[in-house]
Every structure is written in structure tokens, then in C-alpha cells.
A = this chain, B = another copy of it.
Amino acid sequence: MVSKLNIFKIGGAIIEEKDALQQFLRLFSQVDGKKILVHGGGKKATELLHRLGIQPKMIHGRRITDVETLEVVTMVYGGLVNKNIVAKLQALGTNAIGMSGADANVIEAHKRPIKEIDYGFAGDVHTINGPSIAALLNLGLTPIFCALTHDTKGQLLNTNADTIASTVATGLSNQFDITLNYCFELNGVLENIADKNSVIPKIDSITYQKLIEHGKIADGMLPKLHNCFEALEHGVKEVRIGNLGLFEKSTSNYTQLVL
């Protein structure tokens, strides 16, 4: 029988607010069986850039990772955020192990090619080292991935945490029965962005196309959903999007995505 694996990705307010993070970690630590957590760094990297007098570089709303920015995200994602999450999970009884993509060579990426925009040290994932991740899970460990990968030539790269979550999920889908959970500040995909309680409980490929046609999906949510359906098409069993309601049994507290 294929073993179950729950992958959670957290970002935004869940990372930034101490109490929200602690509440998430408490619920996460109670999830049975094999699990993985992927985290971004929220605004903490931007805060440190400001404190160091480095102007964050953005083009079309996307961060440009120059040398200084890479150093800062390596410190914040790989050090401050990751190690504190690991220590807190250990206190909650989860045997966590913090990792970047370079650790045990779990996530290989290449520096994004320069076309119109030079994103700097931004990494596009090309290989998930499934057996290495599975070996750690089989030791009873819970990997905690930060948003860093490497190019296998000694260069760390800044990689979007949503992408890490979905590529790790698809990369492991031939070995595990995977549920991918995106946990953020909203209760799920909303019918009406102004109404926090208008959660759409279930979206399949057909309703997804209809929602797009009717312009029902907010701009920021579009790439997220696109990512989710790509993961489903590549072997992930189920994707869930929501807030802490993700941990509840009732499916009305989050959005469930299936093919």
C-alpha cells in the first residue's frame, strides 16, 4: 500500500504573526503520519533589507535577487525562519529537520535564463530528489523546506515557496499518496473576494474553467490555482487551499481541488 504524505505550504500572515505561526505549528504537529512543511519568509526578508539600507528591487511586482538580496534571503529563510520553526516543532513533539534544496541535494534548480528581465539569483526547479526525501521521511523525520534551492555547482538560488511545494509534491507522487495543502490568510478560494465566508468548497477541472471564463477568480489566485491543477495533473491526489480550517474534518472550511 502506498503511504500517505501531507505537504503543507505556509506563507503571508501565517509566517509573519507569531501567534498565527504557533497555532499553525501546533495543528501541524498533530497531523498523523508522514508530512512536509514548506515556508516562505513573508515580509521578514524585506524588513532586513530595509534595516541594512538595501533597496528591494522589484520588476512587475517580482523580486530581483541580486547578490545582496540572496545573502539576506539565505539568512532569513534558511536561518532565522527555518531554524525557529524547527525548534518550535521539536518542542511540539515533531522530529523536524530544516532544509534548503542544497541539503542532501533534494531540490536542483537552474538560474532563470535572462530574457526581457534579469531576475538575478532566482532558481527554476528542474529535479526533485525523491529517494533522498523519502529516506528522511522513512527515518521518521519531518522535512521543513525553506524557499532556497541550488544549481549543484555551488550556487544557492531563491525559489518561490509555492513552486517548491508543488514540485516536491509532484516529484514524490509516484512514491506517496499526496495531499498538498496551501495555508494562508484567507479561508479558501472565495466566490466573492469581499466576503471572507464565501469559500468555494470544491473546484474540479470543469468548474475551474467556468470560474475563469466568468472572471470569478482574483488575479493573485490565478497562478496559484494554475499551479495546483498542474500538480493534480502530475499525480498529486488532492490539493487544499485555506486557513487553519484545513485541519478540520469538515470540507466547508477550505477549498478542495481535484481533477
Contacts and interface: CB of A to CB of B under 8 A. Distances in A.
A51 interface: yes
Report, nearest first, the 9 A-B pairs whose CB atoms are least far apart. A79-B79, A75-B75, A91-B154, A78-B79, A75-B79, A87-B102, A78-B83, A87-B150, A97-B103
A154 B94 CA distance: 11
Interface of A: 48, 51-52, 71, 74-80, 82-84, 86-88, 90-92, 95-100, 102-105, 132, 135-136, 139, 141, 148, 150, 152-156
Contacts of A77: 79
A51 B54 CA distance: 11
A76 B86 CA distance: 17
B80 A75 contact: yes
B105 A90 contact: yes
B103 A96 contact: yes
B87 A154 contact: yes
Contacts of A52: 51-52
A108 to B, nearest CB: 9
A52 B48 CA distance: 9
A200 to B, nearest CB: 36
Contacts of A80: 71, 74-75, 78-79
Nearest to A108: B90
User: Which residue of A75, A88, A150, A153 has the most chain B CB atoms within 10 A of its CB atom?
Assistant: A75
Given A86-B150, A95-B104, A98-B100, 7 more contacts: A75-B76, A79-B83, A87-B102, A95-B105, A97-B99, A98-B99, A98-B103
A100 B78 contact: no
Given A90-B154, A98-B100, A103-B97, A78 B71 contact: no
24 contacts: A74-B79, A75-B79, A75-B80, A77-B79, A78-B82, A78-B83, A79-B79, A79-B82, A83-B103, A86-B100, A86-B102, A87-B155, A90-B150, A90-B152, A90-B154, A91-B153, A91-B154, A92-B154, A95-B105, A96-B104, A97-B103, A98-B99, A135-B139, A139-B139
